[in-house]
Structure 1
Amino acid sequence: MFENIQFANPQIFWLLLGLPVAVLWYFFKRKDQTASLKFPSLKGFPKNDLLPRLKPVLFAMRLLALACIITAMARPQIREISTRTKTTSGIDIVMAIDVSSSMLARDLRPNRLAALKEVASKFIEERPNDRIGLVAYAGESYTKTPITSDKGIVLNALREITYGQLADGTAIGMGLATSVNRLKDSKATSKVIILLTDGVNNSGFIEPETAANLAVEFGIKTYTIGLGTNGNALSPIAYNADGSFRYGMREVEIDEALLQKIASVTGGQYFRATNNQKLEAIYDEINKLEKTEIEEFRYYNNEEKFRPWVLLAGILLLSEWIFRTTVFKSFV
Structure 2
Amino acid sequence: MLENIQFAHPYFFWLLLALPIAAVWYFLKRKKETATLKISSLNGFKTKGSLLPKLKSLLFIVRLLALAFFIVALARPQTKNISSRSKTTKGIDIVMTIDVSSSMLSKDLQPNRLSALKDVAGEFIKERISDRIGLVVYSGESFTKTPITSDKSIVLNALRQVNYGVLEDGTAIGMGLATAVNRLKESKAKSKVIILLTDGVNNAGFIEPQTAAGLAIEFGIKVYTIGIGTNGMALTPVAYNMDGSFKYGLRDVEIDEDLLKNIAKETGGKYFRATNNKKLEEIYDEINKLEKTEVEEFKFTKYEEKFRPLVLLGLGLILVEFLLRNTLFRSFV
Q: Decide whether aligned partners of structure 1 residues 75 and 31 sit closer, same or farther in structure 2, where only a CA change above 3 A counts.
A: closer
Q: Decide whether aligned partners of structure 1 residues 80 and 32 sit closer, same or farther in structure 2, where only a CA change above 3 A counts.
A: closer
How far does residue 56 in structure 1 lie from its aligned partner after superposition?
5.4
Deviates more, 1:144-153 or 1:239-248: 239-248
Corresponding residue of 1:47: 49
Q: What does 1:6-85 correspond to in 2, within 5 Å?
A: 7=6, 9=8, 12=10, 15-16=12-13, 19=16, 22=19, 26=23, 32-35=28-31, 44-48=46-50, 52=54, 55=57, 58-59=60-61, 61-62=62-63, 64-77=65-78, 85=86
Q: Which has the larger radius of gyration?
A: 2
Q: What are structure 1's unaligned runs of at least 5 residues? A: none
CA contact (8 A) 2:12 2:74 kept: no
How far does residue 218 in structure 1 lie from its aligned partner after superposition?
1.4
CA contact (8 A) 2:193 2:223 kept: yes
3-state DSSP class of the match of 2:242? coil
Percent identity for Structure 1 against Structure 2: 62
2:91 partner letter: G
How far does residue 143 in structure 1 lie from its aligned partner after superposition?
0.3
3-state DSSP class of the match of 1:142? strand
Corresponding residue of 2:242: 241
Corresponding residue of 1:187: 188
1:294 partner letter: V
User: What is the distance in 2 between the residues matched to 1:44 and 1:50?
Assistant: 18
Q: Decide whether aligned partners of structure 1 residues 295 and 325 sit closer, same or farther in structure 2, where only a CA change above 3 A counts.
A: same
CA contact (8 A) 1:169 1:202 kept: yes
Corresponding residue of 2:275: 274
CA contact (8 A) 1:7 1:74 kept: no
Q: Decide whether aligned partners of structure 1 residues 46 and 120 sit closer, same or farther in structure 2, where only a CA change above 3 A counts.
A: farther
User: What is the distance in 2 between the residues matched to 1:309 and 1:32?
Assistant: 30
User: What is the distance in 1 between the residues matched to 2:245 and 2:59?
Assistant: 92
Q: What does 1:1-332 correspond to in 2, within 5 Å?
A: 7=6, 9=8, 12=10, 15-16=12-13, 19=16, 22=19, 26=23, 32-35=28-31, 44-48=46-50, 52=54, 55=57, 58-59=60-61, 61-62=62-63, 64-77=65-78, 85-300=86-301, 302-327=303-328
1:246 partner letter: K
Deviates more, 1:79-88 or 1:191-200: 79-88
Aligned residues: CA RMSD: 3.5
User: What is the distance in 1 between the residues matched to 2:227 and 2:250?
Assistant: 19
Q: Decide whether aligned partners of structure 1 residues 209 and 18 sit closer, same or farther in structure 2, where only a CA change above 3 A counts.
A: same
Q: Decide whether aligned partners of structure 1 residues 331 and 89 sit closer, same or farther in structure 2, where only a CA change above 3 A counts.
A: same
Q: Decide whether aligned partners of structure 1 residues 30 and 171 sit closer, same or farther in structure 2, where only a CA change above 3 A counts.
A: same
Q: Decide whether aligned partners of structure 1 residues 127 and 230 sit closer, same or farther in structure 2, where only a CA change above 3 A counts.
A: same
User: What is the distance in 2 between the residues matched to 1:313 and 1:55?
Assistant: 18
CA contact (8 A) 1:100 1:137 kept: yes
How far does residue 212 in structure 1 lie from its aligned partner after superposition?
0.7
TM-score (ref. length: structure 1): 0.82
Q: Decide whether aligned partners of structure 1 residues 35 and 152 sit closer, same or farther in structure 2, where only a CA change above 3 A counts.
A: same
How far does residue 45 in structure 1 lie from its aligned partner after superposition?
3.5
Q: Decide whether aligned partners of structure 1 residues 33 and 189 sit closer, same or farther in structure 2, where only a CA change above 3 A counts.
A: same
1:230 partner letter: N
Q: Decide whether aligned partners of structure 1 residues 331 and 119 sit closer, same or farther in structure 2, where only a CA change above 3 A counts.
A: farther
Q: Decide whether aligned partners of structure 1 residues 287 and 71 sit closer, same or farther in structure 2, where only a CA change above 3 A counts.
A: farther
CA contact (8 A) 2:136 2:180 kept: yes
Deviates more, 1:319-328 or 1:156-165: 319-328
User: What is the distance in 2 between the residues matched to 1:25 and 1:109?
Assistant: 83
3-state DSSP class of the match of 1:35? helix
User: What is the distance in 2 between the residues matched to 1:331 and 1:135?
Assistant: 97
What is the aligned residue count?
A: 327
User: What is the distance in 2 between the residues matched to 1:128 and 1:83?
Assistant: 17
CA contact (8 A) 1:103 1:111 kept: yes
How far does residue 101 in structure 1 lie from its aligned partner after superposition?
2.1
User: What is the distance in 2 between the residues matched to 1:113 and 1:51?
Assistant: 96
Q: Decide whether aligned partners of structure 1 residues 310 and 269 sit closer, same or farther in structure 2, where only a CA change above 3 A counts.
A: same
1:277 partner letter: K
CA contact (8 A) 1:52 1:331 kept: no
CA contact (8 A) 1:19 1:63 kept: no
